[in-house]
Structure 1
Amino acid sequence: MALLELDGVTAGYTAVDALNGISLRVEDGEIVTLLGANGAGKTTTLRTISGLMKPRSGSIRFMGQEIAGASANAIVRLGLSHVPEGRRIFPGLTVRENILLGSSNRGRVPRAELDRDLEAAFGIFPDILKFADSPGWTLSGGQQQMVAVARGLMARPKLLMLDEPSLGLAPIIVQQVFRTIADIRARGTTVLLVEQNAHMALSIADRGYVLETGRLIVEGPPATLLDNEEVRAAYLGGRVTAE
């Protein structure tokens, strides 16, 4: 049984479908990346999985439980955390307070347990520890992205969904972000990654899917996608080779 499985999911914002019957799976312990051009339906896929959008048809199963149409609060309590594009740091809160917000759907949690989880989050992102009591808005873009991911981890997710975590970041910070994603998986959290930087995403992924105008056109391990001429031309900037 897959950790997450979509079967024939259709969804949209207006009368036009942004997703057209997509089916995909994420196995426990994997990093799976979802690639495609702007407007292909990647963000819509994550929003539909996490309950921010309701599917028009199809099935979404998480740990074998049907979650299509469930509320976002109910879904995150099951262990599925969504870090949306744009970081969304609350300017009136400190870095520590922003991160702690991620635990809000866990109910009444003993303070000692929250402190341990917060310490673990700072262990993954040591660069932001010294800013723990600083306003979140004062951090750089890369540091704010670290805060956003740390906040997602405070929900103790079985599956962490990341939407464009490298967007707008300097190349050296992008490399750090992807190393951290690999580390998060190594610590036991499964990852579903939406990313424009296809080369970096495929460098850490176990499998990938390519979306085009709401339809999945190809899937497979990174080597298969890197060797696909259509994928190379459209999303990878021409000829590349797998390392």
Structure 2
Amino acid sequence: MPLLDIDRIHTFHGRVEALSGVSLSVEPGEIVALLGANGAGKTTTLRSVSGLLTPQSGAIRFDGKPITGLSPEAIVRMGVSHVPEGRRVFPGLTVVENIILGASNRRRPSRRRMAEDVEDMFGLFPEIRPFSDTLCWKLSGGQLQMVALARGLMAQPRLLLLDEPSLGLAPLIIQQVFRIVQEIRKRGTTVLLVEQNAHMALSIADRGYVLETGRVVLQGDAQRLAHNDDVKAAYLGGRTA
């Protein structure tokens, strides 16, 4: 049984249909890439899963249980964490304070357990350890992305929804972020990844889906998609002769 099963959802922004019958699945332990141009419906798909938007029709199931229409808080408690595009950390809070906010939906973890979990995040993201008591507005884009990822993982999710984690980052930092995504999967967290950098996304993903104007137009093994002429032409910078 898929960990996440999206079945023919139609989601609207006001009167505009952003998703037109999107179906996709994510198996336990996978990294699945969701590709497409700006406005294709990638972020809307993640927001539909995390409860920030409610599909008008269709169904979303997590671990076999329907979650369509549930509140974001209820969906987080079930084991789904959403790291949105643009980091969206609280600039007036410290790194540690932002990370701890990720555990707000957990059932009152002890102070000792919280400290252990924060230390675990600094083990996964050693670059931000020296800034633990620094206000986040002082951090670089790459450091902020690591804080956002750590905050998302503090919810101890089974499924992590990642929206454009490489956006606005330098190439070396992008490689580092994608190595961290692979490490997250090794730790047992399944990942649904929205990413404009199709080459990097497909290089670490097991499978992928391509959206165009709110519809899935291609799907399959990540390496096959990486060698698909249409995907190459649209997202990877060239078509095979």
Q: Same fold (TM over 0.5)?
A: yes
What's the CA shift string for 1:16-62, capped at 9, x where partnerless?
21000011000000000100000000000000000000101001000
C-alpha separation in 1, matches of 2:117 and 2:64: 27
Q: CA deviation at 1:91?
A: 1.5
What runs of 5+ residues in structure 2 fail to find an aligned partner?
A: none
Q: Note if contact 2:33-2:209 (Cα within 8 Å) is conserved in structure 1.
A: yes
C-alpha separation in 2, matches of 1:226 and 1:129: 36
In structure 2, what residue type is equivalent to 1:148?
A
C-alpha separation in 2, matches of 1:118 and 1:33: 28
State the secondary structure of the residue aligned to 1:11. strand
C-alpha separation in 2, matches of 1:108 and 1:217: 44
Tell me the equivalent position of 1:230: 230
Tell me the equivalent position of 2:86: 86
Q: CA deviation at 1:193?
A: 0.3
Q: CA deviation at 1:107?
A: 2.7
In structure 1, what residue type is equivalent to 2:2?
A
Q: CA deviation at 1:182?
A: 0.3
In structure 1, what residue type is equivalent to 2:15?
A
C-alpha separation in 2, matches of 1:205 and 1:223: 8
State the secondary structure of the residue aligned to 1:17. strand
Tell me the equivalent position of 2:41: 41
C-alpha separation in 2, matches of 1:63 and 1:115: 29
Tell me the equivalent position of 2:112: 112
State the secondary structure of the residue aligned to 2:150. helix
Q: CA deviation at 1:108?
A: 1.2
Tell me the equivalent position of 1:17: 17
Tell me the equivalent position of 1:175: 175
State the secondary structure of the residue aligned to 1:61. strand
Alignment of 1:141-160 (within 5 A): 141-160=141-160
Alignment of 1:55-66 (within 5 A): 55-66=55-66
Q: CA deviation at 1:155?
A: 0.1
Tell me the equivalent position of 1:96: 96
C-alpha separation in 1, matches of 2:230 and 2:171: 26
In structure 1, what residue type is equivalent to 2:125?
F
C-alpha separation in 1, matches of 2:54 and 2:199: 31
What's the CA shift string for 1:190-239, capped at 9, x where partnerless?
11000000000001000000000000001011221122211111111113
Tell me the equivalent position of 1:217: 217
| 1:204 and 2:200 are equivalent in the alignment | no
Q: Note if contact 2:203-2:223 (Cα within 8 Å) is conserved in structure 1.
A: no
What's the CA shift string for 1:124-171, capped at 9, x where partnerless?
100000100010111100000000000000000000010000000000
Q: Note if contact 2:226-2:232 (Cα within 8 Å) is conserved in structure 1.
A: yes
Tell me the equivalent position of 1:190: 190
TM-score, normalising length from structure 1?
0.97
Q: CA deviation at 1:15?
A: 1.2
C-alpha separation in 1, matches of 2:227 and 2:146: 32
Moved more, 211-220 or 106-115: 106-115
C-alpha separation in 1, matches of 2:80 and 2:128: 24
What runs of 5+ residues in structure 1 fail to find an aligned partner?
A: none
- Aligned residue pairs: how many? 241
State the secondary structure of the residue aligned to 2:145. helix
In structure 2, what residue type is equivalent to 1:131?
F
What's the CA shift string for 1:80-100, capped at 9, x where partnerless?
000000111111110000000
Q: CA deviation at 1:106?
A: 0.6
State the secondary structure of the residue aligned to 1:45. helix
Provide the aligned C-alpha RMSD in A.
Answer: 1.1
In structure 1, what residue type is equivalent to 2:131?
F
Tell me the equivalent position of 1:162: 162
